[in-house]
A and B are shown apart, each in its own frame.
Chain A
Amino acid sequence: MLNGLVGLLQVDLLINLTLRDLRSKYKRSALGWTWSVLNPLVAVVVYSAVFSVFLRIQPSTGDPSGLRSYAVFLLVTLLPWQFHVTSLTEATRSITANGPLITKIWFPRWVLPTSAVLARFLTLLVEMAVLLVLIAVIEGHYAFAWIPVVLLLMALQLLFTVGLALMVSAANVYFRDVQHFLGVALAPWMFLTPILYPLNMVPDDRELFGVGYRTLYQLNPMVSWAKAYRNALYDLRFPSAERWLAIVAATVVVLVVGFRVFRRLEPRMAEEV
């Protein structure tokens, strides 16, 4: 039973491909893994300067934590968002970039985008751990009790991202437009997710086609994750039932659709890649 599951999930292959991605990523660079820390560090400095200092966006006050720090407010959502962006970008090219492998050896193709996401997920785990320690030391803000909730959110986000990765990686084999489209779409997607500003800054009193701005805005599933991460790590509060429902529903739908799309596009991949 367990062996069957291990075989079905291609555990050995996933581990090996994930390790390949991680090991080869910073080979032959002098700073190596420092780069993966440097990236969020620079982002948080620049975004804090522009949005908090220049544009004077006020972070919401943590309820019930009482915390009021733009850097923490930003980071608890920015790190999961950067995972979203980089894993999708890398997964999109994961099949086309492994063309020689695809045309010479048969193995379940879904492991390629999945391992690309997994490799990035491992770095997210490290980043989140560092973040928790840093905000405890610097701000005296202790979010350790909320680790199980955050892990659950991260696990769901992982599945959600795998579902998306399956779709875009398979589609990219047939239409290379996908990788360019993604590059264009991810920037506005970020600004339409409450990462740099609190959700309540989205106007509630204006309508588009009879639907409120904020209602439309919340059709973006990443809004729910951003809110939930901020609830657990900034407010120190359990996310609401509606948030959980939205998150689980989005995950299930995207994962199922992702696998279906992938299955459909899989047979001819070796010819089109």
Chain B
Amino acid sequence: MGHSPGTPSGTAIALDGLGKKFRLTHDRNWTLKATMLAGHRTRYEEFWALRDLSLDIGHGQTFGIIGGNGSGKSTLLKVLAGILRPDEGTARVDGRLSALLELGAGFHPELTGRENVYLNGAILGFTARDIRRRFDDIVGFAELDRFIDEPVRNYSSGMYVRLGFSVAIHVEPEVLLVDEVLAVGDLTFQKRCLERFAQLKADGRTIVVVSHDLDMVGWLCDQTAWIQQGALRAVGPSAEVIDRFATGADGSTGGGTDAAPARARPAFERLSDDDLVKSVGLIDPNGHPTDVVGSGRPVHIRVRYDGQAAGEPVTVALGLYRADGTHVASINSGATTRGVAHDAASPGRAEGPESGAGIIEVDYVVPALPVQPGTYELSVALHDASMRKVLERHTHLLRFEVTPTGVDPQNGLVALGGTWEAR
């Protein structure tokens, strides 16, 4: 493998001047004859997908990697996984590694789910005894008890992916590499995956996540690196790096030109009856629901959720985005959760005939919405009180308009709300 044990103490992953180049053959006539005719070497152009990348990731960290398409994120993950060998520098990984680059990559369609679990487990470095011990957990997590002896070619794509994820996650890796795999599966499954990640994180495992989903990276990762054209652009606490990336993507630096399309998902989520979140809405100062707010005007963001079904104190998190995907703000009720929850449980706050027992209503009160006119989107997530576990996550749940109010035309992201004074 391209990496060996023996990293500096405290680092799970150590990259030192890492470089990886690819050959771009102009006509891929990859035959013996072509090579002979072209002389000793086929003509090709070199392309550095990664260059001079140095980065340390500590044990037990949850680390995000973001960047536009073609920035080298996935190449980096493949180098870490040992699939690609660096052409320059070194990449060291300390500890048993599992890479979730594609779920169910090792499955053979003609074999049954059971046979594939053993096969995939062996490819991931498991012995038959290891698998036997975890088999019930694997099948249980994937919820495939009834279908495990069916050939996987009969599986739906969701079943396929669930089984692949389940095997990979039960390898009990010390270092887990994840490439965008959470974009698959239905919401319930995504939720359980995130829970599982939170659990691994709590167990002190190192997790490296490559994703376009800035929300998810922000929620899951302590630290984030932004990679651009194969080089490290920024590294640090997730919120900071994501903000820089998001603004870079909007500005002329072209940081992540693909970030906007990736995020502007046309499909808006709908809440189902099983969801903890019952409704999210905007309330104007008169107490009426609305979906239009004046720039710089007061508004309440009201979230109603089933506190009884949640069974524990809940932290409510909100994410505000522009329609082009630019991240505007994220807030959560954080330490005040219990205060809010108690408050909300008191009779004064629970209102309306349909708010049955256990429905909790919380308002995020914005005195003056400081954003420029335009279309905005709101995401909502419920965490447990410690923020370790994601109970539920709804991206782009609500879309609303911010209308111009001031006399002076303004541009940019925020409405400063200032006034001019002549002296």
Does the CB pair A13–B81 fall under 8 Å?
no
Does the CB pair B115–A12 fall under 8 Å?
no
The yes or no answer to A242 lying at the interface (CB within 8 A) is no
User: How many angstroms between the C-alpha atoms of A23 and B118 in the bound complex?
Assistant: 13
By a CB distance below 8 angstroms, the chain A residues around B33 are 177
User: How many angstroms between the C-alpha atoms of A24 and B119 in the bound complex?
Assistant: 12
Of the listed stretches A119-127, A187-195, A196-204, A264-272, name the one at the interface; the rest are far from the partner chain. A264-272
Measured CB to CB, the closest approach of chain B to A115, in angstroms, equals 10
Which positions 276-301 of chain B face chain A at CB distance < 8 Å?
none
User: How many angstroms between the C-alpha atoms of A268 and B33 in the bound complex?
Assistant: 21
The yes or no answer to A17 lying at the interface (CB within 8 A) is yes
* Known pairs A106-B83, A174-B30; A20 contacts B125 (CB<8 A): no
Interface residue tally on B, bucketed by range: 35 or more
* Known pairs A100-B102, A104-B105, A175-B30; A28 contacts B123 (CB<8 A): no
B interface majority secondary structure: loop
Does the CB pair A106–B81 fall under 8 Å?
yes
Residue-wise, chain A 78-121 has the 8 Å CB interface mask toward B (1 for contact) of 00000000000000000000001111111100000000000000
Residue-wise, chain B 146-183 has the 8 Å CB interface mask toward A (1 for contact) of 00000100000000000000000000000000000000
A interface majority secondary structure: helix
By a CB distance below 8 angstroms, the chain B residues around A175 are 30-32, 35
User: How many angstroms between the C-alpha atoms of A12 and B131 in the bound complex?
Assistant: 11
Residue of B nearest to A267 (CB): B85
By a CB distance below 8 angstroms, the chain A residues around B125 are 13, 107
Residue-wise, chain B 81-109 has the 8 Å CB interface mask toward A (1 for contact) of 11111000000000000010110011010
Which positions 27-46 of chain B face chain A at CB distance < 8 Å?
30-33, 35
User: How many angstroms between the C-alpha atoms of A177 and B31 in the bound complex?
Assistant: 6
Does the CB pair A27–B110 fall under 8 Å?
yes
A24 in complex: contacting residue of B81, B85, B110, B123, CB < 8 Å:
B110
The yes or no answer to A16 lying at the interface (CB within 8 A) is yes
Does the CB pair B78–A270 fall under 8 Å?
yes
The yes or no answer to B126 lying at the interface (CB within 8 A) is yes
By a CB distance below 8 angstroms, the chain A residues around B127 are 12
Measured CB to CB, the closest approach of chain A to B295, in angstroms, equals 48
Residue of A nearest to B179 (CB): A104
Does the CB pair B83–A270 fall under 8 Å?
yes
Does the CB pair B81–A176 fall under 8 Å?
no
By a CB distance below 8 angstroms, the chain A residues around B31 are 175-177
Listed in ascending order, the chain B residues whose CB lies under 8 Å from chain A are: 1-2, 22-23, 30-33, 35, 78, 81-85, 99, 101-102, 105-106, 108, 110-111, 115, 118-119, 121-128, 151
